[in-house]
């Protein structure tokens, strides 16, 4: 148990230092999130070679952008149909 507490404490301390710009209404909403989620795997590879490309749009309008991003990201995994597919 003690071996687990130290790394988790360090992770929590590191996460506490993270800053995010405040959400700006009208900036990037649901449809931008959907698009960014759909191109996220491609943007991830491109971000290795470019400092101007990011996977996640910041600042965005908050929850609707997040929902669209996750919905767009599930397109790569086959969506809910892939999870419910029966395996023989």
pLDDT in tens, 13-46: 777 666 666 666 667 888 988 998 998 889 989 9
> How many angstroms separate the Cα of 59 from the Cα of each of 28, 38, 74, 83, 84?
7, 18, 22, 32, 35
pLDDT exceeds cutoff 70 at 88: no
């Amino acid at each position: 148990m003690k071996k687990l507490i130290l790394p988790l404490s360090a992770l929590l301390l590191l996460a506490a230092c993270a800053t995010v710009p405040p959400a700006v209404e009208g900036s990037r909403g649901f449809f931008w999130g959907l698009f960014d989620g759909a191109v996220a795997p491609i943007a991830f590879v491109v971000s290795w070679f470019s400092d101007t490309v990011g996977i996640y749009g910041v600042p965005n309008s908050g929850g609707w952008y997040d929902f669209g991003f996750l919905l767009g990201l599930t397109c790569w995994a086959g969506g809910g149909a892939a999870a419910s597919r029966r395996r023989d």
